[in-house]
Structure 1
Amino acid sequence: MLLFCLPYAGGSETTYYQWDHYLNQSINLCPVSLKGRGKRFNEPFYECLEDAIEDIFESIKDKLKENEYAIFGHSMGSLLAYELYYKIKKMGFHQPKHIFFSGYRSPEMKKKEIIYNLPNKQFKEKIIELGGIPEELVNNDDLFDVFIPVLKSDIKIVETYKYKEREDKISCGISVLNGLNDNITLENLMSWKKHTDKSFQLHHFEGNHFFINHNAENIVSLINQTLAAEKENENQKQMLFKSFF
């Protein structure tokens, strides 16, 4: 099974590299590279979330044809995962076995405060409030100035995203992960439940909005267990189906 991992705003595919140490051998880690950062640093930023979804889909579609897969996204990555699911479905590819939405409110719960268009000084202050920014970056204005454009671009596509209600729910189980010290309300987290007609699980971890940076082993253990359970349920269904014929 493949595990596609989508980064948070300002993050890159390198966020997930350490997960390879903990993943079950039957799961292949597939961190998704986005424009404007990492190995795609020289490519132009996305104009809107739809551009990002189109780019992500084009980069993974060949892997979808013959492989079972799951999707994990943190913060902005959760919103990308949500919209990517519907893009994959629209294009006629088979559905994921599970989706993990981490560190993000249900997509219809729009954030009230807009920060992407703030002057750099105020923008930096807002970002630092979230936590998770390395100290060496916070204390180095020149280095932070290099980081700001990609961060502002990512936050812009999230804050200008327009939610579209869909009649067809997500047809696989979903797990929602949250940091205990994050400021996302329980209502916002539980609202994810209405987006699937399959299983729903909510899991809390120690830490703030960037809890994934300090809980790699525990998060991957949850992923291993969840995907193993999905596989076992599928095998049982197949055995039950065969018993009727």
Structure 2
Amino acid sequence: MCLIFCLPHAGGGAHHYFGWAAHLAPDIQWEPLDYAGHFSRMDEPAYATFEQAVEDLAAVMIARAGGRPFALFGHSMGGALAYEIAQYLAARQLAKDLSFIAVSSALPPHRRDPNMPRYYELPDRDFIQHLIDTGGMTAQLAAQAELMASYLPLIRQDYRLYHQYQPPSHPPLSTPLYALWGEEEEDRNDNMPAWADYSHAFNGSKAYPGDHFYWRHGLGAVAADISAIASQASTGQTCRR
């Protein structure tokens, strides 16, 4: 059994990824996580810093894994968290049980634009329109005023957290790393292959048809590739794509 923890995008939650399990190989235990202060963890304080998120999520994973090997899949902000968690574990000699990480639509640390727009500071109307334009929210959902009143602050906090993330200088990982993204993300097309610089065991990269949420357009293909990566990791093989 291969245990894979899934880290959501900014404002996302475990529930966004529940449908994946049916498309993955039967020997994969798919475990999407919620961030503190979000959804199933609403009674907890939200993270104040990116570093706090890394420490908390690493502790959650270690506890849930119970000594078993595990892997990480992180989309967008979740991809950056997956990378930093891998570094956190490596620095503490705890990475021996980390099988691989799959970084989805998260720019490599040195390719992040330090002058990126502060979307989280936009007025509600403009911020919601940004979320709709990027596929992070439907117009139907945005029209539910009561839901938006409780949901928007979560998304803003995640955006703020990710914007304030200052990647430290780390040595390359020894953990296998794989990068994937949507081919309509033009900045990702140019930059995602640079994840090769962040692991001595880089597994390769692949662009899929679609936008930032490319897996919504072809989850079967994405899940098949993740299943293959998990199988290769369990046998000590690497996949070059």
**Is the shorter-chain TM-score for this pair beyond 0.5, marking a shared fold?**
yes
Distance 1:126 1:135, change over 3 A: closer
Distance 1:123 1:129, change over 3 A: same
Q: Per-residue displacement from partner, 1:2-58 (whole Å, max 9, x unpaired)?
A: 101001011101122112212222221121221222211232221111111111112
% identical aligned pairs: 25
The aligned counterpart of 1:231 is: 234
Asked if residue 215 in structure 1 is aligned to residue 225 in structure 2, the reply is no
| Structure 2 CA distance for aligned equivalents of residues 22 and 129 of structure 1 | 27
Distance 1:110 1:233, change over 3 A: closer
Aligned pair partner of 2:190 in 177, 187, 190: 187
Deviation at 1:104, TM superposition (A): 1.4
Paired residues of 1:95 and 1:171 also in contact (CA < 8 A): no
Matches within 5 A, 1:97-116: 97-111=99-113, 112-116=116-120
The aligned counterpart of 1:150 is: 154
| Amino acid paired to 2:33 | V
SS in 2 for 1:188: helix
Instruction: Decide which moves more: 193-202 or 138-147.
Output: 138-147
| Structure 1 CA distance for aligned equivalents of residues 129 and 23 of structure 2 | 35
Aligned pair partner of 2:125 in 92, 103, 121: 121
The aligned counterpart of 1:41 is: 42
Q: Per-residue displacement from partner, 1:187-243 (whole Å, max 9, x unpaired)?
A: 321211100111331111121111223332221110111121222336xxxxxxxxx
- Larger Rg computed on CA atoms: 1
The aligned counterpart of 1:240 is: none
| Amino acid paired to 1:158 | Y
SS in 1 for 2:15: helix
| Amino acid paired to 2:222 | I
Asked if residue 135 in structure 1 is aligned to residue 136 in structure 2, the reply is no
Q: TM-score, normalised by structure 1?
A: 0.88
Deviation at 1:95, TM superposition (A): 4.5
Unaligned residue ranges in structure 1 (runs of 5+): 235-245
Aligned residues: 233
| Amino acid paired to 1:103 | S
Distance 1:207 1:132, change over 3 A: farther
The aligned counterpart of 2:163 is: 159
| Structure 2 CA distance for aligned equivalents of residues 227 and 26 of structure 1 | 9
Paired residues of 1:78 and 1:104 also in contact (CA < 8 A): yes
SS in 2 for 1:149: helix
Asked if residue 14 in structure 1 is aligned to residue 15 in structure 2, the reply is yes
| Structure 2 CA distance for aligned equivalents of residues 87 and 232 of structure 1 | 25
Q: CA RMSD in A?
A: 1.8
**Runs in 1 of length 4+ with deviation above 6 angstroms?**
none
SS in 2 for 1:101: strand
| Structure 2 CA distance for aligned equivalents of residues 229 and 37 of structure 1 | 33
Q: Per-residue displacement from partner, 1:146-196 (whole Å, max 9, x unpaired)?
A: 221000000011000111111x21112211111122243323212111001
Unaligned residue ranges in structure 2 (runs of 5+): none
Paired residues of 2:103 and 2:179 also in contact (CA < 8 A): yes
| Structure 2 CA distance for aligned equivalents of residues 205 and 84 of structure 1 | 25
